[in-house]
Chains A and B, each alone.
Chain A
Amino acid sequence: MEIDFMDSQIKGVSTGTTILAVTFNGGVIIGSDSRASIGGYYVSSKTINKLIQVHDRIFCCIAGSLADAQAVTKAAKFQISFHSIQMESPPLVKAAASVLKELCYNNKEELQAGFITAGWDRKKGPQVYTVALGGMLLSQPFTIGGSGSTYIYGYADAKYKPDMSREECLQFATNALALAMGRDNVSGGVAHLVVITEEGVEHVVIPGDKLPKFHDE
């Protein structure tokens, strides 16, 4: 099978994807789908992990070229770890996001990867940062990203409320992912969600058939 890479903007395996992160009262939920594709028509992995733990209470989710994203998060993990050891305290979420931003901005010609960093720290509590393709860093109460996010901007804007409870937030994130996966061909598989709070980190995996179904499914 000779795969023609020319028609896709991303060479190699890409995570055409849906990723999101939402703060709630006491924590933050970060979520993604699990599909990796080549050229927009071949699913190279149904179970790729896009939620990467860069520190105890900080996760980041990846979008764009899988190779670029994995290389950047590897470097970022090392730098954040080192920073945390030097400071003798857990890193701030902003610090982790800045590390990713520096890597993306300084290498913007070679890289094609975007990130959402979310976590909890003692200073500011739950936070969400988005690092876009060219290296822009932005802090928001919630954010969505990836190719599938275009289909759920309306839903997210309408349904998000500040200070939700954990269950409400989980439902919001699950619905958003299910809607995006339903419309975007390069998002799919299972829904991975991670709930980060002061107490700890909890993984929730929702297989495709257990996702909420909407009117036409």
Chain B
Amino acid sequence: MTKSTRQPRTKILINSGMALSNVLEIPTSGFNFENVARNVALEGLLEGGQTKTPKPMKTGTTIAGLVCKEGVVLGADTRATSGEVVADKMCAKIHYISPNIYCCGAGTAADTEKTTDLLSSNLTIFSMNSGRNPRVVMAVNILQDMLFRYRGQIGASLILGGVDCSGNHLYTVGPYGSIDNVPYLAMGSGDLAALGILEDRFKPNMEMEEAKELVRDAIHSGIMSDLGSGNNIDICVITKQGVDYIRPYQESEYKDKRQKRYKYGPGTTSILTEKIVPLELEVVQETVQQMDTA
């Protein structure tokens, strides 16, 4: 295998995106690096490079999903970390895509959030235009095209699950744009721990309660064995009848109790002096625009 030095090119491989007549967004080709210049300027401004820009919030995470007899069960923990600090203790990692499709996201929190938002908006427009509920495989194809186009720069590992007219589906989408259709799955930093539980107890066509317990146990195992996962467990159950988004399905037993009240009513801080300075404003220009209420 020859190892070639890869120079980024603006040529695109495929015309990715959806049929133009049905959706609002027309994806542009190539990369969009407008924010790089802004970030460099910001970093320079912050005390001559002494202060570092905050690290992107990652969801070091455990997410899992499985296909059971009546539908699809998705589960996730609720911890979002930024470096060594837990940035969000009740982060929602199961994102809404459409009434019959939900998506768990691992990786950079912003990337998973925005990618799933974008997908959800576009699928809504599509279903309004075509009058049909989107299929899971369509959502997967759109995600694949988008993530491949960004060549792994979007750090989103996603588990897509949903029920449509062709059955119950569970797909994994990797950050480089690879997809796989699977009956059970775990992703994120705690995936190995969760996968152990799933590999041991998964059976095809499980009953709903058993399936929910298995996903809970898998996420719990991820929480216990992985530093990046923790706090509560969310479960989302998708069936032909509808969606049951249980948040939280189980609260962490290590929830801390606040020692004091941190709310301070008005009057806590006494006012020592008061000085009122009127602002002299000069009217430079005044325009009146009639509103057309016809």
Contact = CB atoms under 8 A, between A and B. Distances in A.
Interface string B130-154: 0000000000010011011001100
Nearest to B180: A45
Interface in A63-82: 65-68, 70-72, 74-75
A133 B1 contact: yes
Interface residues of B, number: 30
B36 interface: no
Contact of B178 (A66, A107, A112): A66
Contact of A13 (B141, B144, B174): B174
Interface in A1-23: 1-2, 9, 11-13
A209 interface: no
A93 B13 CA distance: 22
B178 A67 contact: yes
A71 B190 CA distance: 28
Contacts of B126: none
A85 B127 CA distance: 28
B176 A109 contact: no
Interface residues of A, number: 29
A134 interface: yes
Contacts of A13: 174, 176, 178
A107 B13 contact: yes
B182 interface: yes
Contacts of A106: 11
Given A1-B191, A13-B178, A75-B14, A108 B4 contact: yes
B13 A67 contact: no
A112 B1 CA distance: 9
Given A11-B152, A103-B13, A110 B144 contact: no
A36 B180 CA distance: 10
26 contacts: A1-B226, A9-B1, A11-B152, A11-B176, A12-B152, A13-B174, A45-B182, A48-B180, A65-B176, A66-B174, A67-B144, A67-B147, A67-B148, A68-B148, A70-B148, A70-B179, A71-B144, A71-B177, A74-B14, A74-B144, A75-B13, A103-B13, A107-B13, A111-B13, A112-B1, A133-B2
